[in-house]
């Protein structure tokens, strides 16, 4: 009888654990559905309303990010076209984000080439400024020198602190990122609070960098 009762207790415990795990899965799925605007179960109208609400909240209290477009005179038409494409992707990432930025595009001239590329214009105490510059001709430090000349504080992504160069046949390593790639990293960091996770997901593999073992272990904790 004792063995029978113990067996029944173990069986009941297993059933309860299965029920609890099933409930946890349902709760995780429900939470993901609430945060994922692009979930297939949401109608287009619902997605549009939620996206608009989030962007309005970002304009009032979200982190601010400014793209400085005053350096287009330093770019070729091809580079300007690439910049326009990057800004469009940046804007698209922001619309899909659970916690979008308040985006501002500055110094975009209506008679300039960039304006003709069909761009959509789109706190947290600081405004983060990205230099709107595609530089295939390697004009080094243009945006950095402009910031210094105007007394603007500068910062870099902590790539050196969380990433190392990986070995590859071409021995190619670059920290230069498109503005939409920098923006995606900022978005993920604001969402997770983890530079390791943000850089690991946002740094293109072709740049030749990988997350350090310490950072990878930190992500798994």
Residue 128: strand pairing partners: 65
Measured torsion, CA atoms of residues 149, 153, 159, 165, in degrees rounded to the nearest 10? 20
Of residues 184, 188, 183, the one with CA closest to residue 130: 183
Domain assignments of the chain as residue spans, ordered by start: 44-154, 156-221
Burial of 68: CB neighbours in 10 Å, binned 0-12, 13-18, 19+: buried
User: Does the CA dihedral 25-26-31-33 come out positive or negative?
Assistant: positive
pLDDT in tens, 6-40: 777 777 777 777 776 776 666 555 555 555 555 55
Tokens 């297939």 sit on residue: 40
Strand segments (E) across the chain: 64-68, 102-106, 127-131, 163-165, 209-211
Quote the pLDDT of residue 119: 36
How do strand 163-165 and strand 102-106 relate by DSSP bridges?
unpaired
Q: Is the dihedral of CA 12, 16, 19, 25 positive or negative?
A: negative
Beta bridge partners of 127: 64
| Lookup result for tokens 């209506």 | 110
| The most confident of 33-37, 198-202, 214-218, by mean pLDDT | 198-202
- For residue 136, what pLDDT is reported? 66
* 44-154, CATH topology level: Alpha/beta knot (3.40.1280)
Residue 37 confidence (pLDDT): 54
End-to-end CA distance of the chain: 45
Question: What are the C-alpha distances in Å from 66 to residues 87, 90, 127, 168?
Answer: 11, 12, 7, 35
- Model-level pTM greater than 0.85? no
Q: DSSP label at 31?
A: H
The two structure tokens encoding residue 56: 């309005």
Task: Report the pLDDT averaged over residues 204-221.
Answer: 75
Count of Cβ atoms closer than 10 Å to residue 194 Cβ: 16
Per-residue confidence band for 76, with pLDDT thresholds at 50, 70 and 90: confident
Closest CA to 65 of 112, 122, 118: 122
Q: What's the DSSP call for residue 103?
A: E
């Amino acid at each position: 009888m004792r063995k029978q009762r113990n067996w029944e207790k173990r069986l009941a415990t297993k059933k309860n654990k299965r029920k609890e795990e099933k409930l946890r899965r349902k709760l995780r799925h429900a939470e993901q559905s609430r945060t994922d605007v692009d979930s297939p179960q949401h109608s287009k109208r619902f997605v549009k309303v939620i996206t608009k609400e989030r962007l309005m909240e970002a304009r009032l209290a979200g982190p601010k990010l400014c793209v400085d477009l005053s350096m287009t005179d330093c770019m070729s038409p091809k580079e300007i076209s690439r910049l326009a494409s990057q800004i469009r992707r940046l804007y698209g990432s922001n619309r899909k984000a659970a916690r979008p930025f308040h985006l501002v595009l500055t110094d975009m001239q209506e008679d300039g080439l960039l304006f003709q590329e069909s761009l959509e214009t789109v706190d947290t105490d600081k405004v983060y400024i990205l230099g709107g510059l595609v530089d295939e001709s390697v004009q080094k430090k243009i945006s950095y020198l402009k910031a210094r000349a105007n007394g603007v504080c500068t910062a870099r992504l902590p790539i050196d602190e969380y990433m190392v160069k990986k070995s590859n046949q071409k021995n190619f390593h670059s920290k230069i990122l498109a503005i939409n790639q920098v923006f995606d990293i900022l978005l993920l960091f604001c969402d997770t609070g983890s530079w390791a996770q943000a850089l690991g997901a946002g740094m293109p593999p072709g740049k030749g960098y990988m997350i350090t073992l310490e950072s990878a272990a930190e992500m798994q904790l």
